[in-house]
Amino acid sequence: MTTLNATILGGGSWGTALAAQLARQGHATVIWDRHPDRCAFLNEHHQNPRYLKGEPLPPTLRATPSLEEAVQHADLIVPVVPSHALREVLQRAAPFVRSDATFSCATKGIEEGSLDTMYTVMQAALPDAFADRIAMLYGPSFALEVTRGLPTAIVCAGPDGPAHAAADAFHGGGFRVYHTDDVVGVCIGGSLKNVMAIACGVSDGLGLGNNARAGIITRGLAEITRLATAMGAHPLTMMGLAGMGDLVLTCSSDLSRNRRVGLALGQGRTLDDILGELGEVAEGVITAKTAWELSARVGVEMPITEQIFALLYQDKSATNAIRDLLGRERRPERDDA
């Protein structure tokens, strides 16, 4: 395996976990974090003082608040910033990036305004020379478990060159990385699962039981597949790691921030209070809006997404959102029936 200079853009929990995995694979790995005090703490104590607190990190891992320093020598750059910040961070970093660097983006979501996937944002924000040097790293993975080195399987999507380069860099030690060329399917599946996790949390918060959660997961997968295939994705991608795999994980575990948001909404708490207590970005809150807008643009029916959008942005109650979902007209299970 070739040893790389690797840079993670973003010092949140997922960025820290991916940095730990790269460092364990022997790569010289740097985290870029806007906050100098967090960088200093990580460099001295080998822990992230805000995210994954108390979890030991590889001693070779270091952090810097300088974007230029972070990217100027990097062979592999892994953006893991929130979706609303991705374009701006990449535009700032671009002047300092080596011309032969590869990007592997782990940010999930649909951008507000443009309704672009993160792959499209990457292509637009970076110089044209990097258009064929971008891959996406998605799949069922909680940061805490990756940091602890527990077995994980994810997928890297993109052209063969960057997809294989990034997959090779991360793969090892129980962290399995598969590859695919279906960027659209991976981006849509990995982003919209967060909306379905909110829906499952709402259902559980209302005490609707395991049957209801299973129904939301299954029908959620159906509407994610409907949108993804309408945008050109391969339907079998939705049966894979960035589809069913990520969906089941995020909808079923309290380690999921998005599920916890839905759970609290179902219990009657306000969104502002929930997000204030969470202390991290829950991408499903933004994606509920952008996915709803994208479904209207593409002309695809997405009833669960529509109700979560109404709950988050139109003051609809959790009880009424579930009532309207259950009250829909009976229909065939398969869209082609």
Catalytic site positions = 193
Distance of CA 138 to CAs 165, 177, 184, Å? 15, 10, 12
Residue 244: CB atoms within 10 A of its CB come to 20
Please report the beta strands in 113-187, taking only residues with DSSP state E, as ranges in sequence order. 134-138, 152-157, 175-180
Do 134 and 162 touch, CB atoms closer than 8 A? yes
Q: Which two tokens stand for residue 193?
A: 């699962």
- Give yes or no for a contact between 231 and 188, defined as CB atoms under 8 angstroms apart: yes
Residue 29 amino acid letter: T
Cα 30 to its chain centre, rounded Å, is 20
Per-residue buried b or exposed e for 116-151, using 16+ beta carbons within 10 Å of the residue's own CB = bbbbbbbbebbeeebeebbbbbbbbbbbebbbeeee
Inter-residue contact 109 to 290 (CB < 8 Å): yes
Q: Which of 144, 164, 140, 163 is nearest to 152 (CA)?
A: 140
